[in-house]
Chains A and B, each alone.
Chain A
Amino acid sequence: MKSASSSTTFDEIRWGLNHDAFLDRTSKRLLRAWYYGARDPEVEELICGRVHPVRVADALGELVPFRMPRLHAGDIILGKDTQGRQVLIPHRWLGAGLLLAANTGSGKTNLLCCLLLQLATLQTRFWVVDLYKRQFRHLRTLCRRVGLNLVVLRPEQCRVNLLQANTADLRLHLAMVVDLLVRVLGLPPRARTIIHQGCHEVYRRFGLWDGHHDVWPTLYDLYEWVRTAPDLNAASREAILDRLATLLLSLTPRCAAYRKAWLAADLARYSIVFEMSGTSELVKQIVVEPLLYSLFLHEVQRGVINQPTRLFVFFEDGQRFFSTTHELASGEIAPMDELAGIIRGSAIGVGVNVQSTIGLSRRLVPNLATKFCGRLGSHEDYSSVGADLGLNSQQIDWWRLHSRPGMFLGQVAEGPWREPFLFQVPLLDVPAVVNDAEVAASVAELDALPVVPAQEFTHWEPRPVVEMKSETTTLSEVEIRFLQGVIKQPGQSSTYYATQAGLNGQTAAKVRTRLVDLGHIREHSVATGRRGRMALILEPLPSASAAIGTTAPEGV
């Protein structure tokens, strides 16, 4: 090979460095020799010989347009790069938030299993919220080999109480509870006030404002308060009762009727798989969100700020859970988006596993700083993920054509290497040996946590709506005035009473209809004139006197 001039050699070296042509030990020594001044033709020829095959591959379109990752230190193996070397990162880097985007069958669950098993080996706690599948339960057998008892928890086995605070600041907890209930149940604005008022009242009944934190009110207590409290706006009351009853029926008393339930801080000591398959979206949100919020508030109260991550929370198939449909209509940031951003400082890492970034809240992505991208299925996905990872058009096109199951494109949040890199994840063979009986047995470890059931709600059922209506028979001041007129001078026309009560015809008709419905008066159509429409003669009934607390006149 003909020797190149010094300037040409320098260009070759620069190109070769940008395309990882000098990764082996010999190449590095050649470069060092050239830097030290050994610029003889032999050295230059050897250097060009290292670059030449890469040039040929580039000319043939076979060159991978990604740099080799300089990630060779850490306790988590992500996989192998294109040259078969291990890609390692410290496990604490996952605490900065992990976004794992890949379409179905591309191996994202396999990658997550690899990460979880390594976390288990490191005795680091993790929660996996398996929103649709039952795949992670089979990790229990493998986790047991490394001395970790993985708890698999179904929603009906949970012992939760939304009103039980894990922090001393009850008002802060109530703000979270009210916000969550109003948002999840889709309640009108006036209902928010009622829910807030109800929570304060049930807290007062249990002496929580006085510092007694032994037992807590439940959502069933809140339901009963809304049902029986007088003078609440009827429409808001019915909206709350209807939707809260649906929620409580979905949760079941076995799950939610506890005066003292599991605390998120206690659960953080365990590695848990939350199996949410077959559960309504309502229950998923009500169970998961408060746990994370309570944990966050608890850690903040403990003064844990920017500590190493001690709990990882992964959401498997979180497409719907984190979708933009949960964003608030007012344009405010959605709570889970907000939580993903602030929870890192409280030693909790969040990871989200999605099939597509379409529909995924864009406010969530910045807070999931470590990003792994597998095979995607649409141009929009490639463009979006490519932009987030800082890929150029050549890299995006290559990834679009060469992505395959098990191969991922990654970018880590911490450390000096921020270039996107490729890595291949080995396929795990996780035997499907964990059945429902073992799942139920795994929860036995949580039996040690103290709980106090609310016995009175064990067989709770929502009251029929008809009964709720019977509570609203209180007469308004106008109705009382109208009714007093009918009792005082019975047998007159409705127009007469409207005039006496100072009401216009439309209002008087509404009042009259309501009094008839309540059984206080009866209408008679009588032709009191020779022509024209018949008059409505009103007759007071015995209940009328009782309604306004007077003695019925004679003959009534």
Chain B
Amino acid sequence: MRGGFLHNQVLAARVEHAFRASGAEVCREYRIVTSALEGYVDLMVTCGGRRIACEIELTAERIYWDVAKAQAMHAVLLLIVVPNEQLARTVRQKLTDRQTTRRPLKLSVFCLTVGAVLEALRNKSLLKSVLNVDTTLIHPTITSATTSSERSRPCKFNGGT
């Protein structure tokens, strides 16, 4: 994993361990290759046949790139894990700004601190949200997620589950 101690051994390792403890499958450094982009997702979580893209971020600079990767891998949920609440607010604000200027996102995006993620995974609330997302999808592809019902639903950028 391309990151330092905080990125790999503190944040990613804890989130990975929590996902595994919840019964999900986790793949580190999941490679995405499409005609439009090529990159790696820090953690690709498979839960109930649905994909969750999990990105560990220490700054807010690569947020749009993370969204693009999550969309490319047909994830139903993008989980951005940050070390502190201040950065989480910055990320949420950035995503909100994008939402007002561009097309609405076709996936749910959660930006949480690592503590919040671990708590959410402990009480399964995050995974339930994933299931909620899943029930709205006709097909587990990015194309199928562009149904009218889904498009009309505002994209979810919140700090909790």
Contact surface of A with B, Cβ cutoff 8 Å: 490-491, 522, 524-530, 534, 537, 539, 555-556
Residues of A within 8 A of B83 (CB): 524-527
CB distance from A483 to the nearest CB of B (A): 16
Residues of A within 8 A of B9 (CB): 490-491, 539, 555
- Asked if residues B119 and A530 are in contact (CB atoms below 8 Å), the reply is yes
- Asked if residues B6 and A524 are in contact (CB atoms below 8 Å), the reply is yes
Residues of B78-124 contacting chain A, CB below 8 A: 83-85, 113-116, 118-119
Contact surface of B with A, Cβ cutoff 8 Å: 5-6, 8-11, 13, 83-85, 113-116, 118-119
- Asked if residues A527 and B5 are in contact (CB atoms below 8 Å), the reply is no
Q: Which residue of A lies closest to B8 (CB)?
A: A555
CB distance from B15 to the nearest CB of A (A): 12
CB distance from B116 to the nearest CB of A (A): 5
Most central of A491, A527, A556 by chain B CB within 10 Å: A527
- A218 CA to B86 CA, complexed, in Å: 62
- A539 CA to B11 CA, complexed, in Å: 13
Residues of B within 8 A of A537 (CB): 6, 10
- A328 CA to B8 CA, complexed, in Å: 64
CB distance from A554 to the nearest CB of B (A): 10
Q: Which residue of A lies closest to B4 (CB)?
A: A539
- Asked if residues B10 and A526 are in contact (CB atoms below 8 Å), the reply is yes
CB distance from A530 to the nearest CB of B (A): 5
CB distance from B60 to the nearest CB of A (A): 16
Q: Which residue of B lies closest to A534 (CB)?
A: B84
- A528 CA to B84 CA, complexed, in Å: 8
Residues of A within 8 A of B13 (CB): 491
- Asked if residues B115 and A528 are in contact (CB atoms below 8 Å), the reply is yes
Q: Which residue of B lies closest to A522 (CB)?
A: B5
- Asked if residues A527 and B10 are in contact (CB atoms below 8 Å), the reply is no
Please pick, from A491, A529, A530, A556, the residue contacting B10 in the complex, using a CB distance under 8 A.
A491
- Asked if residues B115 and A529 are in contact (CB atoms below 8 Å), the reply is yes
Residues of B within 8 A of A528 (CB): 114-115, 118
- Asked if residues A527 and B85 are in contact (CB atoms below 8 Å), the reply is yes
- A556 CA to B84 CA, complexed, in Å: 23
- A490 CA to B5 CA, complexed, in Å: 9
- A522 CA to B10 CA, complexed, in Å: 13
Q: Which residue of A lies closest to B119 (CB)?
A: A530
Residues of B within 8 A of A529 (CB): 115, 119
- A530 CA to B115 CA, complexed, in Å: 5
Q: Which residue of A lies closest to B9 (CB)?
A: A491
- A491 CA to B83 CA, complexed, in Å: 13
- A26 CA to B148 CA, complexed, in Å: 152
Residues of B within 8 A of A522 (CB): 5
CB distance from A2 to the nearest CB of B (A): 122
User: Can you name 20 A-B pairs with beta carbons within 8 Å?
Assistant: A490-B9, A491-B5, A491-B10, A524-B6, A524-B10, A525-B83, A525-B84, A526-B114, A526-B115, A527-B83, A527-B84, A527-B113, A527-B114, A528-B114, A529-B115, A529-B119, A530-B119, A539-B5, A539-B9, A555-B8
List 8 other contacts, CB 8 Å, given A491-B5, A527-B116, A530-B119: A491-B13, A522-B5, A524-B83, A525-B83, A525-B84, A526-B10, A527-B83, A529-B115
Q: Which residue of A lies closest to B83 (CB)?
A: A526
Residues of B within 8 A of A534 (CB): 84
Residues of A within 8 A of B10 (CB): 491, 524, 526, 537, 539
- Asked if residues B116 and A526 are in contact (CB atoms below 8 Å), the reply is no
- A555 CA to B118 CA, complexed, in Å: 23
CB distance from B70 to the nearest CB of A (A): 23
- Asked if residues B6 and A526 are in contact (CB atoms below 8 Å), the reply is yes
Most central of A490, A530, A534, A537 by chain B CB within 10 Å: A530
CB distance from A526 to the nearest CB of B (A): 4
- A539 CA to B9 CA, complexed, in Å: 9
Please pick, from B5, B6, B11, B116, the residue contacting A530 in the complex, using a CB distance under 8 A.
B116
- A522 CA to B9 CA, complexed, in Å: 14
Q: Which residue of B lies closest to A540 (CB)?
A: B5
Q: Which residue of B lies closest to A529 (CB)?
A: B115
- A453 CA to B77 CA, complexed, in Å: 82
Residues of A within 8 A of B84 (CB): 525-527, 534
Residues of B within 8 A of A526 (CB): 6, 10-11, 83-84, 113-115
